[in-house]
Amino acid sequence: MAKMEVKTSLLDDMIGVGDMVLLEPLTEDSFINNLKKRFDHSEVYTYIGSVVISINPYRSLPIYTPEKVEEYRNRNFYELSPHIFALSDEAYRSLRDQDKDQCILITGESGAGKTEASKLVMSYVAAVCGKGAEVNQVKEQLLQSNPVLEAFGNAKTVRNDNSSRFGKYMDIEFDFKGDPLGGVISNYLLEKSRVVKQPRGERNFHIFYQILSGASEDFLCKLKLERDFSRYNYLGLDSAKVNGVDDAANFRTVRNAMQIVGFMDHETQSVFEVVAAVLKLGNIEFKPESRVNGLDESKIKDKNELKEICELTGIDQSVLERAFSFRTVEAKQEKVSTTLNVAQAYYARDALAKNLYSRLFSWLVTRINESIKAQTKVRKKVMGVLDIYGFEIFEDNSFEQFIINYCNEKLQQIFIELTLKEEQEEYIREGIEWTHIEYFNNAIICDLIENNQTGILAMLDEECLRPGTVTDDTFLEKLNQVCATHQHFESRMSKCSRFLNDTSLPHSCFRIQHYAGKVMYQVEGFVDKNNDLLYRDLSQAMWKASHTLIKALFPEGNPAKINLKRPPTAGSQFKASVATLMKNLQTKNPNYIRCIKPNDKKAAHIFNDALVCHQIRYLGLLENVRVRRAGYAFRQAYDPCLERYKMLCKQTWPHWRGPARAGVEVLFNELEIPEEEFSFGRSKIFIRNPRTLFKLEDLRKQRLEDLATLIEKIYRGWKCRTRFLLMKKSQIVIASWYRRYAQQKKYQNIKSSAIIVQSYIRGWKARKLLRELKHQKRCNEAATIIAAYWHGTQARRELRRLKEEARNKHAIAVIWAYWLGYKVRREYRKFFRANAGRKIYEFTLQRLMQKYFLEMKNKMPSLSPVDKNWPARPYLFLDSTHKELKRIFHLWRCKTYRDQFTDQQKLIYEEKLEASELFKDKKALYPASVGQPFQGAYLEISKNPKYKKLKDAVDEKIIIAEVVNKINRANGKATSRIFLLTKNNVLLADQKSGNIKSEVPLGDVTKVSMSSQNDGFFAVHLKEGSGAAGKGDFLLSSDHLIEMATKLYRTTLSQTKQKLNIEISDEFLVQFRQDKVCVKFIQGSQKNGNIPTCKRKNNRLLEVAVP
């Protein structure tokens, strides 16, 4: 269900009536019809006040998801639809918050879903309680105890495929926070007769089938078992396989659960060996043999089974064989040994099998308790969960049904008493007058059964202990004598004449009128089942076993501890257990879950009215409703009541300004509800009749419809106005855009027309000009051609004349040229030697330069800026040129190398360059830092979950994060701190917790001082009077001093536009609070290696010894 859809009241969207207290009219038919209506709509839970009625749906429903757990967590009991989670949450919160021990009583007949209900309660409590490795282990052990007990204590019956054949009460222990510490399990009346005999259509206990189906062949071989069910007499074959049940998978689940609960491997092996021995006991058969004295004696037919049992249990075969054939009776100093006939031998075999399995089951419960018990001895809160048989009425009812129904009588008695007590306490708490409620008190029935003198159990014990011939008939005769006059006891053999002709009551039966109806019990088997006798010879044989577990199960077999007293009977033991249980339940706040089975077919969607009616009667649900509504049928706190019904009154709607009680009084007066129909308590309003509540609900429903109509009207008006305004706004926008578009379109058309007109005019002008130019060109070309012809004629004439003159002058020119050449050569010979040297020098110099450059090209060094190689100078006159070329080449290759750098690399080299300028030849530590890259974030705060708190506290980008040592002026000792440098601040934080100790703005840092030696000490000086300077300057030590000082210098310069003063001196002053302390660095040998140490000399001097 989505969060918006969560119900806020039990009455919202109610299918039928969610709380039977509000059912009107209250009859058995209306009760059943209401349950059926809710069942048909998959509503399997219904309330009777604080009691939960649970109907088994026989199918999976999506109402147990983790989302449902969260929905019912910490919610009021009546706030949501009826659910088992609501009761579980109410019980858990009462235990945790109000320190009240709780118990949850789950009752109902077999197949009604009691076991599943107890699992749901435990799973809900496990889901809502605390978390943690230890708590989760306790929860897992508590939950995993269920599969183990179900395997050994549950069986398939005609009514239920997983029927609990024992009663279980678990006390879950919690600490003061509500976290589980452990638990204690008590078991009641295991149906051990099922081990040797099962009714038709039913199975033995699950564990027998699980071992044979799921164990490996090697494991079966060790247990001397075979996989075939038909090999074992104790296993019924007609229903060995159950549809939908995987015995092999369940066996693996059981073994895993035993491991989780804490069973050791050898203990698990021992348990399965005992189970195998019980299974094989059923295969031992006897044959009669006549002795000389004429008495019959029993002998074992096939001794192979006996041999294998003895090998499993470590018992001497002859000892066990004798125990099956003879019985020894001891009386004071006498021993009498008698033989057993075949019938007695079979009785002894079955008694041993039943006792062996019953004691194994009790040992399992004890062993589980050892594992899940609380380890601490602190005061514990307790929540008990009781999962026990419901009232049983079969065609044939025997001793087991008598004991079970007695237990249910006691539970009904305590249920009525505690329900009335709870009602009375609430009335007194709220100041409401308590009126006496008439109800049927079943104490008279409990007294009929458990009275120490005249009770049926006391008569049965007395008959079992009486010497002489004791039979079931003698027991019935005794009952007829003692109980004949009791109004709830009926027997045809009694003195009461009204039953003499009652043919529905056989002679060998008696009938008890229980609170749930009349039940007829067949007296056959009462004495034997109450005796539950195991021959002492078999007990002693079991004690002699070398098998550790079997030996521990039969302590009475120890000859040194022989007790001649008769062991307590089954009835007296169960009576004592029930008394202990009742005493335990009365100390706790009870919570009830009544489980109902809708049909006998174990099928979904089938609701058998007659079967449900039968269960309603014997569970006393109608009686419960009458008790709850005898005073006031409904009660509710004032706040939720006013919140739910305030719309019914104008004075309280929509908001009531005042106490909630006053608002409820105004509301009820306005509605004119009769005063006798309600009462005002201290914190709640009490409504007497459900009709009044339903009237309020009808008025509320009508008012909600009116409010919904009003809201719908207002919403529609708002929606229409909003749509109109939106359309109006859209129309204005569309109109403006259309006008803009129309004007743009008009402008484009005008512009296009103007361009076309312009193009036509320009074309016309161009063509006109072209025609004029062509005409002018033709005129010019004609004149030019004429002029050219004329000039050509003139030129040809002049050429002919010049050629003639040239021929005449050529001879003179040639002669003159030769003469001039002769004169020049004669003059040049005078100056030839003086000019030749200079020309040769210039030529030689040019060749040498050419050779030099060609050689330089081939001898060029590498492009690495750190390569200092350079070719040797070949000629002295090239010295300046050689040096200039070297300088130019170095600058060029440096530029080339720099162009390859990324921005990040440039920043690193800029920092390295800055460090060089600050510390080169000044700080002895500097050369060692040159080869180390500046990383900055040494701690990786963003990735380390340890520093998540510190990361969340720092919003700025972290430039450097490093662990430094902060020097204490008092003793010179160092404390680890995390040093953080951001764009605006310097921070010091605790290394373990991540808490920020100091935060200094960069503007308050005035100077950084350090020594010139090879140490990592430095002082951060703060501006006097600043907020950060209250405790004085910081004296720190770091392994990355050069990097930290450089980054601090560059960041300060970037943010404040001022250079940070870096003082390098072997002696400087540091301000500590109001005092100035001198820090002096000296050379000295160290005991702890090469690590500088700081010592306090006096109040004004700290001395740092540097190796």
Is residue 409 within 8 A of residue 442, CB to CB? The reply is yes
Where is 965: in which H helix or E strand? strand 958-967
Helix axes 570-586, 456-465, angle to 10 degrees: 150
Where is 705: in which H helix or E strand? helix 690-858
In the block, which residue shows the tokens 């910081």?
A: 1034
SS3 of residue 233 by DSSP: coil
Active site residue 268: no
In the block, which residue shows the tokens 């609501």?
A: 86
Active site residue 290: no
Task: Select which of 110, 530, 569, 1051 is catalytic.
Answer: 110
Closest to 577 (Cα-Cα) out of 370, 358, 410 = 410
Question: At CA 565, angle to CA 563 and CA 567, rounded to 5?
Answer: 100
| Identity at 702, one-letter amino acid code | Q
Where is 286: in which H helix or E strand? strand 286-290
In the block, which residue shows the tokens 């509000």?
A: 22
Active site residue 111: yes
Task: Select which of 50, 56, 154, 164 is catalytic.
Answer: 164
Task: Report d(CA 207, CA 357) in Å as an integer.
Answer: 11
Active site residue 113: no
Q: Would you state the torsion angle of the CA atoms of residues 42, 44, 46, 50, taken in this order, to the nearest 10 degrees?
A: -140
| Identity at 789, one-letter amino acid code | Y
Q: Phi and psi at residue 595, in whole multiples of 5°?
A: -95, 135
Active site residue 110: yes
Active site residue 390: yes
Task: Select which of 9, 34, 81, 115 is catalytic.
Answer: 115
Task: Report d(CA 386, CA 115) in Å as an integer.
Answer: 10
Q: Which is it for the CA torsion 815, 819, 821, 822, positive or negative?
A: positive
Task: Select which of 109, 392, 623, 1043 is catalytic.
Answer: 392
Task: Select which of 111, 571, 631, 663 is catalytic.
Answer: 111
Active site residue 140: no
Closest to 1003 (Cα-Cα) out of 1059, 1056, 1053 = 1056
SS3 of residue 1077 by DSSP: strand
Per-residue tokens: 265: 């491997």
DSSP string covering 53-118: EEE--SS--TTSSHHHHHHHTT--TTTSS--HHHHHHHHHHHHHHH---EEEEEE--TTSSHHHHH
CA separation, residue 902 to residues 35, 65, 898, 899, 912 (Å): 80, 57, 9, 8, 15
Q: Which is it for the CA torsion 559, 560, 561, 563, positive or negative?
A: positive
Task: Select which of 81, 88, 118, 163 is catalytic.
Answer: 163
Task: Report d(CA 681, CA 430) in Å as an integer.
Answer: 5
Closest to 1066 (Cα-Cα) out of 1058, 1050, 1078 = 1078
β-pairing, 985-990 vs 996-1001, is: antiparallel
Helix axes 456-465, 472-482, angle to 10 degrees: 140
Task: Select which of 88, 145, 160, 204 is catalytic.
Answer: 160
DSSP string covering 372-413: HS-SS-S--EEEEEEE-------SSB-HHHHHHHHHHHHHHH
Q: Would you state the torsion angle of the CA atoms of residues 190, 191, 193, 194, taken in this order, to the nearest 10 degrees?
A: -120
Active site residue 392: yes
Expressed in angstroms, the distance from the first to the final Cα of the chain is 74
Task: Report d(CA 176, CA 1034) in Å as an integer.
Answer: 48
- Which positions are annotated as active-site residues? 110-111, 115, 160, 163-164, 390, 392
